[in-house]
Amino acid sequence: MEEYDSLISLTDSMASDFLFIDGKKIDVPDAGKFFNKLNELIKEADSRKIFQLKNVAVGLNSLLEKMVLNEIDDEEAGFNAFEKGIILMQNISESFKNTGGYEGGIEVFEELIPTLMGEQPAAGNEQPATSVVDAQDESLLRDFIIEGIEYIDEIEINILNLEQAPENKDYINNIFRPFHSIKGVASFLNLEQIRGLAHSLETLLDRARSGELVVTSHLIDVILDGADSLKAMIVKLRDDLEGNPAKPLKVDLPALIARIESVSDGEPDVQERKKVGEILVEEGVVTEKVLEQELDVAKQTIPPKKIGEILIAGGKATPKQVSQALRKQADQVMDTAAIRVNIKKLDDLIDMVGEMVITQSMIRQNRIVQSNSDSKLTKNIAQLSSITSELQRTSTSLRMVPIKQTFQRMSRLVRDLAKDAGKTVSVIMEGEDTEIDRNMVDEIYNPLVHMIRNAVDHGIEFPEEQVKLGKTEKGIIQLRAYHRGGNIVIEISDNGKGLDKDSILKKAVEKGIVDGSHDLPDQDIYRLVFHPGLSTAKKVTDISGRGVGMDVVRQAVEKLRGKIEINSVYGKGTTVSARFPLTMAIINGMVVRIGNEKYIIPTTAIRKLLRPARELYNKVIDKGETINIMGKLLPLVRLYNLFGIEPEYKDPWDAVIVVVEGQNRSKCLLVDEIIGGEEVVIKNLGKGLKSVKGVSGGAIMGGGNVGLILDTEGLFELSESLG
């Protein structure tokens, strides 16, 4: 009988989930799934008057609570009893489907449950509304908080994907499951507000999944607001648990529930689903007129063909263009096995590996060791160096995470800002799988946010302006990440109005930042926007335009040993590139000596090493000292003058020249000797030396002394300020 199919489906699903549990231990996420299904079984069995099934499900529910709380003395017996209960429920469901009843008994199972649990309340009684903290078991609540925040992040990623491809049921399922899991565990922990909100959102998604509701922008808005509210409630739980100062929860739950119910009732929305043809029109591949004509052709073919095939066959679009449009409707889902590790433990591990690298370097450079002729000792030290380097690389990679989640947060920000500004903006992401040190993720967030705000507020025009200028109606912001050398480069590009060089220069002259009598290269003009208070915005908005920000962005980027550059074409758009080191812990450097001091120059900044011939040295009036490097005169920077050191050599033809690059320009650094390349562990110099220009950090050298890590762009500025 079909009326019992849903019961059979639920019991079979529980049996399937049970098979994949490892180690005879049910954790909180697994328990959440079982609690949800048991609750559904209890309700359905009660409505169908199948009391044997209901009683078994109620008994399993009570047993599961005790198992998760570690209140069962014989864990293996409890685990086996849970399995027997699932099999019993399967038998009861199958029997009702085949015969309309169940002749077997459940008395043995009903006696087994109280025995395992000891003296417990009778099955089916309401549990007191106490929290897990009251039960003196904080670990379950902590697990739920960590899982819950991860679930919300997963929801946000998939809801943005769903907005791009509303017809994709996989995205709906990927959003439905985390809400379902949150609801199940919250129910077990008696977190009624969280459970109720998650249940309302789950119901809304279930209707969209079954095709009763169309995925519209209004539905997307409600789900995003619901996810934000759940996250705020879970974060407040964490704050309460950790004893942080109480903050008011700014969630209007009744109003949000009312909005969800309104959308669930089918409130109309005029926004249509995004299709491949529409994407091709937005990209300017075909016109709307051509699309309409080809759609008519596609409908008349037998069997009907897809619009992409018709456009390719008619030469209206290339396979690559159609492929790119299709790619925008899908998103790769990476499923990797993972284990959660406390980040402090991971940081401690990396710190200890760093100390081991320093100690290994000290041993290798010890004079006694170096003078020892024992070949076995030499071989062992070389092996130790190899293992240490590999361990260092492996441990550092553990802290690397894809930048995808940060990009998704940026995409969400663009959506919200564009909506508030009355603009329509599409986000294109490239290189989301590029990895970055997780300790840098939070640090780079604020600079990226400000750059995104500028792009939406000052860069992208309103839809009607875009069309007048021959652009697509939707503005485009592209987020791109890639590795270059020892750095990660993050680019934010827009197809907006671009920077007005004349306006920037005029404002800079008015403020006395530059002298208007000299012609400045474009790059130097664009760099002026990083000066404090230099804003060319014609009006102040809630988003930006107060003349504060880009200088703060530069400071934030440089604090991370990063660099920022701007390129723009007026009327076409702007690209802001920020370059950061891959990790804050380790760099590859070239150790150099000046007098008795050793310094480290990051290898990513070095372009050439040489001892120049005397005739390559020039001293030009008003230009200073230069070295002719392959036909180009590059300024000479005498580091001993900058740091007040007595050098071994003062003449460039006796010393060594290190050609370094920074801010799209190169200079020659004068040093006494190149000692060699070395991977060094970066150490913070503390507050006293943090603001010293030209120095970005320190490192403990093999001999135990400290070497300063040089910042090339800071050296450039320092040398120019000293003339």
Q: What is the pLDDT of residues 315-347, one digit of tens each?
A: 777 776 776 676 554 433 333 345 667 677 777
Residues 141, 188: Cα–Cα separation, whole Å: 10
**Which among 395-399, 489-493, 550-554 has the top mean pLDDT?**
489-493
Taking CA atoms, 116 is separated from 69, 71, 89, 533, in Å, by: 14, 10, 19, 71
The pLDDT assigned to 653 comes to 92
The pLDDT assigned to 376 comes to 86
Taking CA atoms, 588 is separated from 142, 567, 678, in Å, by: 39, 29, 6
Catalytic residue among 147, 163, 202, 678: 202
Residue 272 known to be catalytic: no
Taking CA atoms, 429 is separated from 157, 327, 368, 479, 524, in Å, by: 13, 11, 55, 5, 29
Query: With contact defined as beta carbons under 8 Å apart, do 627 and 612 qualify?
Result: yes
Q: What is the pLDDT of residues 528-564, one digit of tens each?
A: 888 766 654 544 333 343 334 577 787 778 777 778 8
Query: With contact defined as beta carbons under 8 Å apart, do 458 and 537 qualify?
Result: yes
Query: With contact defined as beta carbons under 8 Å apart, do 260 and 200 qualify?
Result: yes
At 52, the pLDDT band (50, 70, 90 cuts) reads confident
Catalytic residue among 161, 180, 294, 487: 180
Nearest to 73 by CA among 114, 116, 31, 22: 116
DSSP, res 529: G
Whether residue 518 has pLDDT greater than 60: yes
Whether residue 609 has pLDDT greater than 60: yes
Selected residue with higher pLDDT from 245 and 419: 419
At 273, the pLDDT band (50, 70, 90 cuts) reads very low
Residue 450 known to be catalytic: no
Query: With contact defined as beta carbons under 8 Å apart, do 461 and 496 qualify?
Result: yes
- Average pLDDT (19-40) is 77
Whether residue 622 has pLDDT greater than 90: no
The pLDDT assigned to 347 comes to 75
Tokens of 61: 């529910």
At 135, the pLDDT band (50, 70, 90 cuts) reads very low
Cis bond leading into 602, ω under 30°?
no
At 480, the pLDDT band (50, 70, 90 cuts) reads very high
Tokens of 251: 């969630």
Nearest to 26 by CA among 55, 64, 59: 64
Edge-to-edge strand ranges of the sheet holding 563-569: 425-430, 475-484, 487-494, 573-581, 563-569
Taking CA atoms, 57 is separated from 94, 112, 359, in Å, by: 15, 14, 61
Q: What is the pLDDT of residues 150-175, one digit of tens each?
A: 888 888 778 877 877 777 888 888 88
Query: With contact defined as beta carbons under 8 Å apart, do 443 and 560 qualify?
Result: yes
Q: Would you call 587 helix, strand, or coil by DSSP? A: strand
Mean pLDDT for the chain overall: 78
Q: What is the pLDDT of residues 202-241, one digit of tens each?
A: 888 888 887 788 888 778 888 888 888 898 888 888 888 7
Catalytic residue among 55, 454, 487, 495: 454
Selected residue with higher pLDDT from 258 and 266: 258
Selected residue with higher pLDDT from 352 and 329: 352
**What H or E segment, with its residue span, contains residue 647?**
none
Minimum mean pLDDT range among 253-267, 331-345, 380-394, 589-603: 331-345
Residue 641 known to be catalytic: no
**Which among 257-261, 311-315, 490-494, 535-539 has the top mean pLDDT?**
490-494
Residue 544 burial (10 A CB sphere; 0-12, 13-18, 19+):
buried
Nearest to 645 by CA among 720, 710, 593: 593
pTM for this predicted structure = 0.47
Q: What is the pLDDT of residues 418-442, one digit of tens each?
A: 888 888 888 888 888 888 877 777 7
**What H or E segment, with its residue span, contains residue 419?**
helix 404-421
Query: With contact defined as beta carbons under 8 Å apart, do 547 and 538 qualify?
Result: no
Tokens of 624: 């200073």
Tokens of 466: 């875009």
Tokens of 703: 């001999």
The pLDDT assigned to 134 comes to 43
Taken as a whole, the chain contains a residue count of 723
At 473, the pLDDT band (50, 70, 90 cuts) reads confident
* CA 419 to centroid of chain Cα atoms: 23
Residue 593 burial (10 A CB sphere; 0-12, 13-18, 19+):
middle
Minimum mean pLDDT range among 21-25, 84-88, 116-120: 116-120
Residue whose structure tokens are 């709906």? 172
